[in-house]
Amino acid sequence: MSAERQFEQLKEQLQLHSKTLSRQKPCSWKTVLGCAVMGSDMLWYRGEVLEVIGGHVKGLVENRFVYPTVWTRDIPQLCIPCQLHGIIPMGKAWQWDAVALLQELLHTRYVHLQIMELPSDPRGHVTVQVLLDGMTLSRIMVHHQHATFDPDVSTQEEHVVTSSITELDDWELDVKGLEDPAPMLGVFTYPRLPDKGEQFRVSIKHLRTPNEVFLFPLVDDGCVEEESGETLEEALDCVNSSLESLPPLTDFHIEGPCLAEYSDGRYYRAKLLSFEGLNPVRVLVRHVDFGSDDMLPTNRLRQIPVALLRFPCKAIKVRVAGFKPPRISLEKERVSYRPEWSVKAVLEMIDLLHGNISASIVSTDPETAVFLYNQKGAMVHLPLVEKGLADFE
């Protein structure tokens, strides 16, 4: 029978016996004498007289005792006084904050106990080490500066105790029933850009700021389509037609590929950028074929079929060289995520990027920078500078 069950039975028996007790009479109290004591919950418990000082009994409530006669002699003492091994409390006595920490760590908690030394007096304190998740309680109290290590304890012990429970563990481990880990997916690839200085036609996919856009080079590079006989659009149509067969996303590593729901309700290729919310969980993703970012709950993300990774991304992030945000701007409406730019400059740049646009690469390190030209061969950002919405770089 567990000690907890014995304790509950003991409480029941004590309450039954206490109803038949005669009126209490003054007695000559002696230390270490067994008694019954009424607790703060108005229930009776077994007790022990610690010390008699005048008309008071140390440690127990005055005038609340009755000598037990035949009460629960078959049940052993369910509480053993213990002291921690190898430490000395600050000031040679436990302070209230140290006691509060001990109560927080130990109350109603199961711990491993290792007996270090038995007392010479059977009624004395047992010296023990208390193990909490592999760490000794003594070390925890020293760490929080509630105690110091006892210099009389041998330094060879180093205050490290190995749990006797783990020494008796005899595990029989095998791999039966384990599944092989899912293969790691690759990463998205990007189309090869023409050489530096070479001018080529582009399609502007997305504008983030006037000098930060996503584009796709309009060059003949149909190697992937020729090998597979299928375009990216056809592959995505096939995926969206059987969306129920796609499992939800379970691997959320940053920059990892996935399928994400777009504003039109269809799923397109995307990569994870960051976690933006925890309750509920929301993930910031970038649609790699459009360049736009979106914040989605996890139930709108799906695992991407490996076959979709063979197609290069259709939106390459570049910096448009030749201009920068204006040093002085009187425009009040600003872009929230890039306050150095005005909303008017963004709208103006969107209008300038309509039509036939071409580009030439200026640099590739640390980021790809390009010049953009309109169909007349002029740099597209010149009207922005003329209107005071940007400065030359």
- Looking at residue 61, its pLDDT comes to 39
Query: What is the rounded CA–CA span in Å between residue 362 and residue 128?
Result: 73
Most distant CA pair in the chain, distance? 115
Whether the pLDDT of residue 210 is over 90: the answer is yes
- Range 76-97 average pLDDT: 85
- Looking at residue 62, its pLDDT comes to 39
Contact 77, 47 (CB under 8 A): no
- Looking at residue 199, its pLDDT comes to 92
Which residue shows structure tokens 């008017």?
A: 344
**What one-character-per-residue DSSP string does 324-377 give?**
E--SS-----EETTEEEEEHHHHHHHHHHTSS-EEEEEEE-SSS-EEEEE-TTS
- Range 142-149 average pLDDT: 90
Whether the pLDDT of residue 33 is over 80: the answer is no
> How many helices and strands (H and E) does the chain possess?
8, 25
Per-residue pLDDT band at 68 (split at 50, 70, 90): very low
H/E stretch holding 102: helix 96-106
Q: Note the pTM of the prediction, 2 decimals.
A: 0.54
- Polymer length of the chain: 393
- Looking at residue 391, its pLDDT comes to 93
CB atoms within 10 A of CB 49: 18
Whether the pLDDT of residue 14 is over 90: the answer is no
**What domains does the chain contain, in order, with CATH numbers?**
3-66 (2.30.30.140), 82-161 (2.40.50.90), 187-236+313-393 (2.40.50.90), 247-304 (2.30.30.140)
pLDDT digits (tens, 9 = 90+) for 323-379: 999 998 888 999 998 999 999 999 999 999 988 999 999 998 889 999 999 999 999
| Planar angle of CA 133, 135, 141, nearest 5 degrees | 120
- Range 384-390 average pLDDT: 93
Query: What is the rounded CA–CA span in Å between residue 16 and residue 226?
Result: 91
- 347-353, Cβ contacts within 8 angstroms, sequence gap of 24 or more: 348/210, 348/383, 348/384, 348/387, 348/389, 349/207, 349/210, 349/380, 349/381, 349/384, 350/207, 352/380, 352/381, 352/383, 352/384, 353/204, 353/207, 353/213, 353/380
Check residue 2 and report its DSSP letter: -
pLDDT digits (tens, 9 = 90+) for 235-272: 999 999 988 888 998 888 889 999 999 989 999 999 99
Which residue shows structure tokens 């996919």?
A: 205
